[in-house]
Structure 1
C-alpha cells in the first residue's frame, strides 16, 4: 500500500509541475500520466485545451512507457527510413514525436511516463522533460 501511495504522489507531483509550467508559458494543454504498463493513472485537460490533445497526450505517454524511451527518441526509429517504420499503428496507436517522457522512481526504475500535448511539439517536449525531472 505504501509503495502505491508513493507512486501516486510521484505521478501527482509530475502532473502539477507540468500544469505550472504550461500556465507560466501561457499554454493550454492536456497532461497524461501512465504507469509502466501504459495504463492511465492521472490526467488533466486545462481550460482552453482543444479536445484532440486528450488522445495525443495519452498516446505520447503510452509510447514512452511501453517502449522505455521518450517519444521523441522513439520517432528517430519510426520514421520512413527507420527500422520500425509504421509501428505507430500498433498498441492502439503510438506517437513518434516529442512530448512523451519516461518517469523513474528514486531507484531509477521506470515507473511510467508523462505525455503533454497542446502547445508546439518543442514546448510539449520541454514541459514534459522539466516535469519529469
Structure 2
C-alpha cells in the first residue's frame, strides 16, 4: 500500500502565514486559500480591503492547481495560445495565482490567491507553497 504526506492544520497554518506575510509586506489586499490534493478548502484568509469575490476566485485557482497538479497559469496560457477547448473543462480557476504544494515530489494540496495583479497573486501563492520546504 502506498503512503503519502498530507496537509494538516499545522501545515495549512504555516502556508497561510507565509502567504499573508508576503502579501502584507507588499501591501496587497488578497484572499489566500489552501486546499488538499482533491481541491477541498482547508483554510481561507481574506485580508482587509480584499473584495468578497476574491474568496471565490482564490478557491477556484487553488482547486485547479490541486486537481491539475500544476500551476493554474498553465491553463490560462493554453487557452490564450488557442487551445480554447479548455474553456469547457470543469475548472473555474484557469487564471494565474494557483500553485500546487509539493512535498517529496507529491502534490499534497495547493494555494490559490486573488485580489491583485495575476503575477502578484502568483508571488503570494508561491510564498505560501514554499513554506513547507
TM category (shorter chain) comes to 0.7 to 0.9
1:101 maps to which residue? 99
2:40 maps to which residue? 39
Please report how far the alpha carbon of residue 86 of structure 1 lies from its aligned counterpart in structure 2 after TM superposition.
4.5
Aligned residues: 126
Q: Relative to 1, partners in 2 of residues 1:39 and 1:55: Cα closer, same or farther, differing over 3 Å?
A: same
Name stretches of at least 5 consecutive residues in structure 1 with no aligned partner: none
TM-score by length of 1: 0.85
CA RMSD of aligned residues (A): 1.8
Cα pair 2:98 2:122 within 8 Å, conserved: yes
Deviations 1:61-114 (A, max 9, x none): 0010011100112222233612xx2434443x4222211000012x22110100
Name stretches of at least 5 consecutive residues in structure 2 with no aligned partner: none
Cα pair 2:100 2:110 within 8 Å, conserved: yes
TM-score by length of 2: 0.85
Which of 114, 126, 129 is the aligned partner of 1:129? 126
